Structure 1
Amino acid sequence: MTFLALLDFGSVLIFALTGALVASRAQLDLVGFAFIACLTAVGGGTVRDLLLGREPVFWVGEPVYILIGVAAAVAVFFTAHLMESRYRWLLWLDSFALSIAVAAGTGVALAEGQPGVIVALMGVATGCLGGLMRDVVVGEIPLVLKQGELYATAALAGAAAALTALHFDLGTRPALVIAAAICWVLRAGSIAFGWSLPVYKSRPPRA
């Protein structure tokens, strides 16, 4: 198994767990669990592959990704009630999934020979869009749009860190590890310490 495939497997598994946790909060049935888990797990990677023109899309070529999503959904369906705070679990699992997915998307775009801007955007898309789809479908405010939180910013910083590491010839695998680490540190800081970006506040018009 290649390093990129390992990253995809990791992000699919953890994102599927977050999708199933969201389904538990929405009190869906087992089919709903499986749908939300799989949507979250493969959503970002699907958009990435479609935009890059990769054929087939990664989970079509390897259906085991869908099976991983379904397995995660079933596991959470029978164990979610044991968690003291499902939302807290959701936030932290999502932070890990985001970081791994950003590295995966960045690595795929690099392997396709894309320029730096596209590499960064594919990293962000892979990391953010699955969770965005998950939250929109169940009617929650998407984590990526929560006021001031570091989410898409963390993803972009991770992808940019990978490009910077490659500029200094550190190698692709170390660069992707750095991408995941930077992304996770920023996202974790936002969760644990409230790190955030300034938000726009309306002001009265000048006289």
Structure 2
Amino acid sequence: MTGAAPTRVLVCDDQVLIRTGFATIIDAQPDMEVVGECGDGRAAVELAGALRPDVVVMDVRMPVLDGIAATRLLAGAEVDHPVKVLVVTTFNLDEYVYEALRAGASGFLLKDAPAAQLLQGIRTVASGAALLAPEVTRELVGRYAERIRPVRAAPVDTGLTPRELEVLRLIAEGLSNGEIAERLVLSQETVKTYVSRLLAKLGLRDRVQAVVHAYRTGLVT
């Protein structure tokens, strides 16, 4: 035994077979524990408050309260103690991806993804990282930048150093840590440090939120 507590997971999906399948796969992992299951977004919010999961695996289309609205209540900017949410859906629509991330989700997967990808996604989100490949970020930014960007971009005092601001702008372009390191001629560890610092200074959870923040505040045009 390593002594590390397992990642506590709440599974929310209105289809019983899918919900049970996810729970079975997750519970079989030595580093994970399913603490609850439910079939609608309202129940997910209530259970999350009672059970304090580390990660909620969330469907999008559900009765009572959909997954996007539930994610906003669990992980949105107004939440005092946000829960990490991994959205898993059958609908491969850019609009869902965009709305899920705006709502505060830390990642997005399709239900037909291999079980190993689901498990890795939970581990990634639980660690505090975002589950979005750089190419997905680029596509989202390219498609929705005008919607995210403010009508008038006023100067923003970010409190960031010039180098941290430069790293933030490259994150917003969809570059990975490795690509940023190559662009700025830095080590990946140094870039990782800059990313951690700027997220802390801006009060952001992950690089997905950093992308949205950069566009909404006019730091990237």
Same fold (TM over 0.5): no
More helix by share: 1
Q: Which has the higher contact order (CA 8 A, sep 6+)?
A: 1
TM-score, normalised relative to structure 2: 0.27
More strand by share: 2
